[in-house]
Amino acid sequence: MVYVVTEACVDVQDKSCMQECPADCIFEGGRMTYINPDLCIDCGACVPSCPVDAIFYEAEIPGDQEHYIGVNERFFAETTTPKSGRKGGKIDYDVDLITALAPRGGS
């Protein structure tokens, strides 16, 4: 089991979670951040730092957000990421489900 970033992060990207993650497994995409499931050490350090409560332990994700497990996995399958989320900088890519969402604020 791992932690997963969900829809509340879209267009927010506060990045506080990235600073708290000891495994450096959180990466910034175009519109949201993503947790690399292969690097996550299940510590939960990122959860309290998220200002929009977008991060959940995989087994505790609300039912309407469960598909974000696959969204996070797909991001890393579909992109080439550096070894470090903090040092890697923004990756100008998002999974198609994210790009299809209307921007926050109704624009």
d(CA 78, CA 104): 24
| Domain that residue 27 falls in | 3-81
Q: Judge if pTM exceeds 0.75.
A: yes
d(CA 55, CA 3): 7
In a domain, 105, yes or no: no
In a domain, 87, yes or no: no
For residue 106, the model assigns a pLDDT of 53
In a domain, 90, yes or no: no
In a domain, 60, yes or no: yes
CATH code for position 40? 3.30.70.20
Query: Hey, CA dihedral for 48, 4, 77, 1, is it positive or negative?
Result: positive
pLDDT tens track for 42-89: 999 999 999 999 999 999 999 999 999 999 999 999 999 888 888 888
In a domain, 104, yes or no: no
